[in-house]
Chain A
Amino acid sequence: MSVLSKAAYFWRSAAGGLKHAPFVHFIAVSTIAIALFAAGLARGASHVVDNLLASLGGEVEVTIYLAPQLGQDEVHGVHTRVVELSHGEVTVVPPEAALLRLKHELGDLGEALSELPENPLPATLELRVPEARRSPAALQTLAKELRALPGVTGVDYGEAAVERLSAIARALSFGALVALVVVLGTTIVIVAATLQLAIYARREEIEIQKLVGATDRFVKTPFLLEGLLQGLLGALVALGGLWLFGRLLGPTLGSLFAFILGPGVNAPWVETRTVVELLAAGCALGLGGSFVAVGRFLRV
């Protein structure tokens, strides 16, 4: 009973603190919200890039151009070597089939191809790379090995796109990490400063509490709760912001990337996991700040 009524008292006291100095707490809550919103955005962005990489990987198809003068047997020989090297699925696309496909892809323009005196396309091999070898590094090695094969004139696997995307992903995650550390530090300092003000505003109350027999913990708990409440509120605001962002800009971004991702690969900005993570991060920020404030400014 006593524990319950104490808990009730703490909550009343903490909520009273928020009500008592709304502007100061508004600043702390917005700071937390902005920090978490930014973190959520960074997370969403890296999610999109990851998806992009994964879907690119899913389509990783290496095209191996063969020398035009190769005969059936030689093509077959290269085919065997490629299978040995890559352990993947290899299809032979004869020059006629390649021309047909190109015509089809060009549509109306394709008619012009019929005018050509002879087929300019070489025979190609299409290789579907197995999952295990789809990382940019593995692809690079594989491409090098393939290029070295006799009878192979060229190898193409969308190298530039894959490399650039993985570089972006690396930069994003590194930048996000640095930003996270800076933002978290700043946020904790700001939360601590607001709580210092709260402690100052209630120094009389604290003095009297001590005089009538309050323990240190009793005096400190409401301020820790106040920090926790700030963190939770900040996280809720950030989640609301992310949700709105996803609603308003998500479809636009989705269609922007749709040409590579294909339809349906629309990364959600607010997932259950994000909710849990942001709430936890908010609590940690609020509590961290209030611990700093209580430790430094509440000499009881």
Chain B
Amino acid sequence: MSGPFLGVLRGRGRLSGLALPVMIQFFHVYKAYPGDPPVLQDINLNVEKGEFVFLTGPSGAGKTTLLKLIFCGEKATKGQILVGGKNIARIRESAVPYLRRNIGVVFQDFKLLPHRSVADNVGFTLDVLGVPRAEGREKVHRMLKRVGLEHKANSLPLRLSGGEQQRVVIARALVNDPTILLADEPTGNLDPALTVEIMDLLTDINIRGTTVMVATHDATLLSRYQKRTVRLERGLIVSDEDGVKAARRMLV
């Protein structure tokens, strides 16, 4: 783990006694793909360090796009986005890799390399950071164990079931202990038992201090884990309930 970004984040965490520092901030953010009507409109959002946030809404609402803006997978058309106190609309192109090293992403479309083993796919993040091989293998092994795939380390991704592939992606996102975890439909392909396992894993990561955002349209997930829930519809935030509120609504 390296880079100036993390140092800033950690420093802030220690120094602030009262108010939790804000990890992700959106100020009047708009996003439009060229030639199309805006996908996101006037998004205002504060996510504090160590928070767990569900991002929900119907298909096509803009959940994936919102997550992409955070790790610079897309650029906002208008507005400001602060991640770890840095305005990512203004950072240099060369600083983007260092931002990304602190953000683990579970991609909705997995983005696994079909000709590399599961262990290689998970270790990919560590290769990029120059983690020595032995140390990397050790970390990969531990991570695969956590997602219950240690016996598949040498398989190719296409030989795995959808749920297993999903867990490989989660392992890759978490292997480097990111400061922020962005998970796009991380339980989309899992049966209820595995969903619980994965959610327990994400909760566990969150308790250890990682800020977690989970995009999902799975209502049972929302009702089971009563966490802050941001609802998007056609590119607008239509509701933003904290965990207590969400729990109360579920009871009614």
Contacts and interface: CB of A to CB of B under 8 A. Distances in A.
Q: Real complex partners, A and B?
A: yes
Interface of A: 1-6, 8-9, 204-205, 207-216, 218
B132 A2 contact: yes
A204 B98 contact: no
Contact of B128 (A3, A4, A207, A209): A209
B130 A3 contact: yes
B97 A207 contact: no
Interface string B76-114: 000000000000000000100111110001010001010
A2 B125 contact: no
A2 B124 contact: no
A297 B107 CA distance: 26
A210 to B, nearest CB: 7
Given A214-B97, A215-B94, A209 B124 contact: yes
Contacts of A205: 113
Contacts of B159: none
A2 B130 contact: yes
B127 interface: yes
A5 B133 contact: yes
A62 B130 CA distance: 73
Interface in B184-210: none
Which of A4, A208, A211, A213 is most buried by chain B, counting CB atoms within 10 A of its CB?
Answer: A213
Contacts of B71: 211
Contacts of A1: 132
28 contacts: A1-B132, A2-B130, A3-B130, A4-B132, A5-B130, A5-B131, A5-B132, A5-B133, A6-B130, A9-B127, A9-B130, A204-B113, A205-B113, A207-B111, A208-B124, A211-B100, A212-B100, A212-B101, A212-B105, A212-B124, A212-B125, A212-B128, A212-B172, A213-B125, A213-B128, A214-B128, A215-B97, A218-B128
The secondary structure that dominates the B interface is helix
Contacts of B130: 2-3, 5-6, 9
B20 interface: no
A15 to B, nearest CB: 15
Interface of B: 71, 73, 94, 97-101, 105, 107, 111, 113, 124-125, 127-133, 172
B174 to A, nearest CB: 12
A213 B175 CA distance: 13
A211 B105 CA distance: 8
Nearest to A208: B111
B120 to A, nearest CB: 11
Contacts of B111: 204, 207-208, 211
B51 to A, nearest CB: 23
Contact of A2 (B101, B105, B131): B131
A5 B130 CA distance: 6
A10 B58 CA distance: 43
A204 B127 CA distance: 16
Nearest to B100: A213
Contact of B94 (A208, A210, A211, A216): A216
B73 A211 contact: yes
B22 to A, nearest CB: 22
Contacts of B124: 208-209, 212
B119 to A, nearest CB: 15
A212 B105 CA distance: 8
B177 to A, nearest CB: 13
The 10 A-B pairs with the shortest beta carbon distances in the complex, nearest first, are A213-B101, A213-B100, A6-B130, A2-B130, A5-B132, A214-B128, A212-B125, A213-B97, A215-B97, A9-B127
A207 B111 CA distance: 9
A204 B124 CA distance: 13
A6 B133 CA distance: 9
Contacts of A215: 94, 97
